[in-house]
Copies of this chain bind each other. A is one copy, B any other.
Amino acid sequence: MRYAGVVEYEGTRYCGWQLQPNGVSVQQKLEEALEALYGSPVRVTGSGRTDAGVHARGQVFHFDPPRPHPPEEVLGALNARLPDDIAVQRVIRVSGDFHARYHAVRKEYTYLVLAGGPRPALLRNFCRHVPWELDDAAMREAAAVMQGEHDFRPFTTEAAARENCRRNMELVAVEREGRLVRFRFRASGFLYNLVRALSWSLVEAGRGRTDAAAVARVLETGRRDSSCGVAPAKGLTLEWVEYEDYPELRRTGP
């Protein structure tokens, strides 16, 4: 018997999704809540890791409950036991071979940047604040270059460990509301730090330190240039994960 869950969390206080010897992880908090509920250890498997400080609106996980409680009851019991910065949004029963990581077909991440002006108070844990004005047209040109299938080796910090860094970015979008700029990234697969690396370069494009042509050159040659970097974790949110057989696990909107 297998259940899948969708969980929202603020990553600020955690060492990330994944269990760590030092530091408290979101996975640990979920496993503790499940153990308190069932009276025996329950292992949780996520759709993938998120780093320390990274948030999720729709992280997906699966677990095998020792006893068959109704999913709605499990959801309520978990939320009663979880800290207030972690909240399960959905629990459903899935087939016994469902796997949160292997069966994920698509994910969307967003990266928030507050551009120009003083630092924020309300969004302090949810965006990267930069003192510069950012040029939307320049960022959109760079985003258009990133979109599509490329070898993203220069935009990951795990390049050495991976043979294949080709990924298909189905969407790289730049949206704006006042000083707040939102990057959206959608793909069937990502690489370690890929979204934060692309977000760094988009900001560099917005402030005129690089441009679409230079980003294209980095992608073509596989060689980083001085505009490459990794944007801070706190601006990043895993929005949703899609599964072919379980469209209800793709959470949309608040």
Binding site for B on A (CB under 8 A): 8-10, 55, 57, 75-76, 79, 84-90, 114, 117-124, 126, 177-180, 252-254
Contacts and interface: CB of A to CB of B under 8 A. Distances in A.
A85 B90 CA distance: 31
Copies of this chain per assembly: 2
A53 to B, nearest CB: 13
A205 to B, nearest CB: 21
A119 B254 CA distance: 11
A57 B120 CA distance: 9
B86 A254 contact: no
Contacts of A253: 177-179
Contacts of A177: 253-254
Contacts of A178: 252-254
Contacts of A87: 118-121, 124
Nearest to A75: B118
A91 to B, nearest CB: 9
A18 to B, nearest CB: 18
Contact of A84 (B10, B124, B254): B124
A180 B85 contact: no
Contacts of A120: 8, 87, 254
Contacts of A121: 8-10, 84-87
A84 B118 CA distance: 12
B119 A79 contact: yes
A86 B122 CA distance: 8
B8 A122 contact: yes
Contacts of A126: 122
Contacts of A57: 122
Contacts of A118: 75-76, 79, 87-90
Contacts of A86: 121
Nearest to A82: B121
